[in-house]
A and B are shown apart, each in its own frame.
Chain A
Amino acid sequence: MIEALAGLLVALPLAGAALMPMVAVLRRRGTRWLAFGLHLLTFAAAAAVFARTAATGEAIAHRMGGWPGPFGIELRLDGLSALIALLVTGLSCFVASAPVDASRGATRRASPVREGLVRGALSMLVAGLVGIAATRDVFNLFVFLEISSLAVYTLVASGGGRATVAAFRYLIAGTAAGSLYLLGVGFLYGLTGTLNMDDLAARLPGVEADAALTAAVALIAAGLAIKAALFPLHGWLPDAYVFAPAPAAGFISAVMAKVSAYALLRLLGETLRGIPAGAMALETMVWLGTLGVLVGGGMALAQRDAPRMLAWSSVSAMGAILLAVGIGSPLALAGALFHVVAHALAKGCLFLGVGGLAETLGAGDRRALRGLGRRAPWTAAALTLAAFSMIGLPPTAGFSSKLLLLRASLAEGGPAGVAAFVALLASSGLAALYFLRVLEGIWFRPRPEGRPAQRLPRALAAPVLSLAVLVLLGGVFSAVVEREFVSGAVEAVAGATADER
């Protein structure tokens, strides 16, 4: 029964992606609640799967077509995959019912047909991301990477105007990334004759072709690193996040790059760990992640535009996550995964809130947020909580995850560990500077003359508030989050690598 749910986890949102355009062109309405229902159903399935893996500590497998291991394609949800699937499907519920066309200036409502089509793309994105998390086949992972990429370009471009240009640049970078990854998979297949991750891990140590193996690892790592926005391959990110419509930006900024970080962890940290090039790629990732933390933070400080500042802070956060993945100790992985969850909640909240406000105001200048505290205290409070989490202040989820990351980099020691420690501390300082600057405007400055009053569309206010509550709960009950959500995922990776030794 639970195995069937694992199989439906991808099939449901995929069916939704096909169904919603159909309903949209036939009935011209009704996709809003259909989308919400479908995303909720998928989330329920993911929650059931997650609960089972957490309770038994065992992975739930689903063999597509009934074919075993290397001959067919296997989906397998262990603690790590189930956590990612839970995060993706959960966050999709928050944006599924939002109006897709809160486009900048919002003078015109989108036609219901267009709304249905864009909702179809969102559903397609969820299917692709959950597929990446669930599959155990490296080629199947590429297919899902393509599905999620095409869907995300559509969502970004649906903002119109400059969003189209941002989406095009994203498309070029993403296609290059996909090609590199696929080339790497081709090398691996030529060397081992298999595409199954477990089979690969078993057969790779026996392969004696160092140059080809190094090429394979480098191609796969580079491809996924572009998708995960690892510095200096993050060029697509700021424009794509800034110009996407608010609901799409909220969802994309929360999960998109992180699912690629998951794929990096899965492949480099598990499947390819046994070979020297894999270890080298992880070491490089620690250093590049450290640089990304600093550069992202610095660039965020330099921005005047609030959404753009948030986008650069995402580059910084991805650096922190990836450097922890590179360190790879259980403590570091716990930190990375906790940070994935904390950052997804907080950044989703911020992008939905700030993006939604900027769109109704028609400008993203951070001064546009001045006076928000008096006008809309609840929204302002939610954004403040999320900003505290980004800085890493207690009692938010961001504090707990930053603390884990700092402890992990200290425990790692060596020049890389120390550099990571310093960079993480510095990034919190930088985040404090750039977020407090905005918060000061929100709470202590009057609304600028001649500006329209800020108000968040109601369909965005509910997600913003509930995400902020989750950020707070994640911090207050951080021990519970660590024990119930993160530890199972860490064991899934650490257990697999322990078996090898």
Chain B
Amino acid sequence: MKARLRAAAAALILGGLFVGLLAGVRDLPPIGDPSSPASTHVSPRFIEEARRETGALNMVTAVLADYRGYDTLGETAVIFAAGLGAFVILAASIGGPRRETPGPGLSHRVDSLLLDTAARVLAPFLLLFAVYVLVHGHVSPGGGFQGGVLFGLGLVTLRLVWGPPRPDRAASRFGPGVRASFLLASAGLLAYIAIGIAAMAFGGAFLDYGVLPLGQDPAHVRELATLGVEAAVFVAVSGTVAVLFETIAVGVAETGRPLPNEDPAPVEAREEG
């Protein structure tokens, strides 16, 4: 009865929200209307001046990485925070006694000619294409976020098949795979902030790329710096993808969820909390 009441209340609230939104949307200017406020107030400057002011051929990149670059720094931080949170919750907080001998889990090289060959063929193209997506974001759809995810997946492919960078030490909880992933993710976010602070060191505002002394005219410097922050996003995002993978890898090795060919080990559930 209580559950049914609750469901009815939820349906009522969602229905009300739906009707309210419909009524509100009816009042908005039509999509694509050239005389709407969204197309006449701020965006004309982006459309007309972006090339001259920021040097970017791609207007979207100009807004994303320059005019509103601060938001993009924030979004990079959001992704970093998500990876950090997932790792803390799923991998670093694991309670209960550790297994005597951590299972191989995902921490060792897989001896399979098939997988090895597939990874060798797949990974170089994946990694190269990721860099292409990053660099080409300047002129076409793409950029640091998309390229970063692709690059991260390339790393994960290799990591799955070859194991972590130094498998001899992989048995510890925070093995080299975890370390490398966090270094990558942190370095990307730090690089973005460093570019912002570098601009302040040369007398501009935070992320005011134009003042950086790169020996070019300001628009061109801005274009270069835009590529710089996109690269920082790229590194941060690919590192975060790797962190998410390591989260699963640590969980597999530590919680004792057995792999198919392993003996199951008893796990004592955490009691307090």
Write the residues of chain A forming the contact surface with B, with a CB cutoff of 8 angstroms. Answer: 3-4, 7-8, 11, 14-15, 17-19, 21-22, 24-26, 62-67, 70-73, 104-105, 111, 113-114, 117-118, 120-121, 124, 127, 131, 137, 139-140, 143-144, 146-147, 150-151, 153-154, 157-164, 167, 183, 187, 189-194, 203, 207, 209-216, 218, 243, 362
With both beta carbons as reference points, the residue of chain A lying nearest to B21 in the complex is identified as A215
Apart from A66-B208, A121-B88, A159-B273: 5 A-B pairs, beta carbons within 8 A = A104-B272, A113-B92, A124-B77, A140-B74, A213-B27
CB pairs A–B below 8 angstroms (22 shown): A7-B206, A8-B206, A17-B189, A21-B84, A22-B183, A22-B190, A65-B66, A66-B210, A72-B70, A111-B173, A114-B93, A146-B78, A154-B89, A157-B93, A158-B93, A164-B93, A190-B29, A193-B40, A207-B37, A210-B27, A215-B20, A218-B20
Q: How far is the CB of B238 from chain A (nearest CB, A)?
A: 15
Q: Which B186-244 residues sit within 8 Å CB-CB of chain A?
A: 186-187, 189-190, 193, 196-197, 200, 204-210
CA distance A21 to B81 in the complex (A): 11
With both beta carbons as reference points, the residue of chain A lying nearest to B73 in the complex is identified as A14
Checking A21, A62, A73, A111 against B68 with a beta-carbon cut-off of 8 angstroms, the contacting residue is A73
Checking A65, A191, A215 against B70 with a beta-carbon cut-off of 8 angstroms, the contacting residue is A65
Docked-complex contact B206 and A65, CB < 8 angstroms: yes
Docked-complex contact B186 and A72, CB < 8 angstroms: no
Check A65/B207 contact, CB under 8 A, given A4-B200, A121-B85. yes
For residue B151, CB closer than 8 A to chain A, the reply is no
For residue B266, CB closer than 8 A to chain A, the reply is no
Write the residues of chain B forming the contact surface with A, with a CB cutoff of 8 angstroms. Answer: 20-21, 23-29, 36-43, 45-46, 66-71, 73-75, 77-78, 80-82, 84-85, 87-89, 92-93, 95, 173-174, 178-179, 182-183, 185-187, 189-190, 193, 196-197, 200, 204-210, 270, 272-273
Counting chain A CB atoms within 10 Å of each CB, the highest count among B173, B196, B270 belongs to: B196
Docked-complex contact B206 and A11, CB < 8 angstroms: yes
Q: How far is the CB of B125 from chain A (nearest CB, A)?
A: 30
Q: How far is the CB of A138 from chain B (nearest CB, A)?
A: 11
CA distance A209 to B37 in the complex (A): 12
Q: How far is the CB of B237 from chain A (nearest CB, A)?
A: 13
Docked-complex contact B92 and A11, CB < 8 angstroms: no
With both beta carbons as reference points, the residue of chain B lying nearest to A121 in the complex is identified as B84
Counting chain A CB atoms within 10 Å of each CB, the highest count among B20, B66, B81, B84 belongs to: B81
Docked-complex contact B193 and A191, CB < 8 angstroms: no
Check A17/B28 contact, CB under 8 A, given A64-B206, A65-B208, A121-B84. no
With both beta carbons as reference points, the residue of chain B lying nearest to A165 in the complex is identified as B273
Secondary structure call for the A interface: helix
Secondary structure call for the B interface: helix
Q: Which 7 interchain pairs have the tightest Cβ spacing?
A: A161-B273, A215-B24, A193-B41, A193-B37, A212-B27, A143-B74, A154-B85
Docked-complex contact B182 and A25, CB < 8 angstroms: yes
The residues of B that contact A243 with a CB separation of less than 8 Å are 273
Docked-complex contact A212 and B28, CB < 8 angstroms: yes
Docked-complex contact A118 and B88, CB < 8 angstroms: yes
Docked-complex contact B75 and A191, CB < 8 angstroms: no
Docked-complex contact B206 and A25, CB < 8 angstroms: no
Docked-complex contact A147 and B205, CB < 8 angstroms: no
The residues of B that contact A161 with a CB separation of less than 8 Å are 95, 270, 272-273
Checking A17, A159, A160, A213 against B77 with a beta-carbon cut-off of 8 angstroms, the contacting residue is A17
The residues of A that contact B27 with a CB separation of less than 8 Å are 209-213, 215
Checking A18, A105, A212, A362 against B189 with a beta-carbon cut-off of 8 angstroms, the contacting residue is A18
Docked-complex contact B273 and A163, CB < 8 angstroms: yes
Docked-complex contact A143 and B78, CB < 8 angstroms: yes
Docked-complex contact A71 and B67, CB < 8 angstroms: yes
CA distance A151 to B273 in the complex (A): 20
The residues of A that contact B24 with a CB separation of less than 8 Å are 187, 211-212, 214-216
CA distance A164 to B86 in the complex (A): 11
The residues of A that contact B38 with a CB separation of less than 8 Å are 189-190, 193
Q: How far is the CB of A446 from chain B (nearest CB, A)?
A: 26
Counting chain A CB atoms within 10 Å of each CB, the highest count among B92, B173, B200 belongs to: B92
Docked-complex contact B92 and A104, CB < 8 angstroms: no
Docked-complex contact B193 and A11, CB < 8 angstroms: yes
Docked-complex contact B28 and A64, CB < 8 angstroms: no
Docked-complex contact A121 and B81, CB < 8 angstroms: yes
CA distance A21 to B181 in the complex (A): 11
Docked-complex contact B42 and A70, CB < 8 angstroms: yes
Docked-complex contact B270 and A160, CB < 8 angstroms: yes
With both beta carbons as reference points, the residue of chain B lying nearest to A72 in the complex is identified as B67
Q: How far is the CB of A139 from chain B (nearest CB, A)?
A: 6
CA distance A281 to B207 in the complex (A): 37
Checking B45, B81, B183 against A151 with a beta-carbon cut-off of 8 angstroms, the contacting residue is B81
The residues of B that contact A215 with a CB separation of less than 8 Å are 20-21, 23-25, 27
Docked-complex contact B210 and A64, CB < 8 angstroms: no
Docked-complex contact A18 and B190, CB < 8 angstroms: yes
CA distance A305 to B179 in the complex (A): 41
The residues of B that contact A192 with a CB separation of less than 8 Å are 37, 41
Docked-complex contact A190 and B183, CB < 8 angstroms: no
Q: How far is the CB of B268 from chain A (nearest CB, A)?
A: 13
Q: How far is the CB of A243 from chain B (nearest CB, A)?
A: 7
The residues of A that contact B71 with a CB separation of less than 8 Å are 73, 137, 139-140, 143
CA distance A75 to B80 in the complex (A): 22
Q: How far is the CB of B244 from chain A (nearest CB, A)?
A: 14
CA distance A146 to B193 in the complex (A): 18
CA distance A70 to B37 in the complex (A): 13
With both beta carbons as reference points, the residue of chain B lying nearest to A158 in the complex is identified as B88
With both beta carbons as reference points, the residue of chain B lying nearest to A362 in the complex is identified as B272
Docked-complex contact A187 and B205, CB < 8 angstroms: no
CA distance A321 to B177 in the complex (A): 48
Checking A8, A66, A162 against B204 with a beta-carbon cut-off of 8 angstroms, the contacting residue is A66
CA distance A210 to B24 in the complex (A): 8
Check A11/B197 contact, CB under 8 A, given A72-B68, A124-B77, A190-B36. yes
Q: How far is the CB of B68 from chain A (nearest CB, A)?
A: 6
Checking B23, B81, B85, B205 against A211 with a beta-carbon cut-off of 8 angstroms, the contacting residue is B23
Docked-complex contact A104 and B69, CB < 8 angstroms: no
With both beta carbons as reference points, the residue of chain B lying nearest to A162 in the complex is identified as B273
CA distance A137 to B69 in the complex (A): 13
With both beta carbons as reference points, the residue of chain B lying nearest to A131 in the complex is identified as B74
The residues of B that contact A11 with a CB separation of less than 8 Å are 193, 196-197, 206
Q: How far is the CB of B144 from chain A (nearest CB, A)?
A: 16
Q: How far is the CB of B156 from chain A (nearest CB, A)?
A: 18
Docked-complex contact A105 and B77, CB < 8 angstroms: no
Checking B39, B75, B190, B273 against A104 with a beta-carbon cut-off of 8 angstroms, the contacting residue is B273
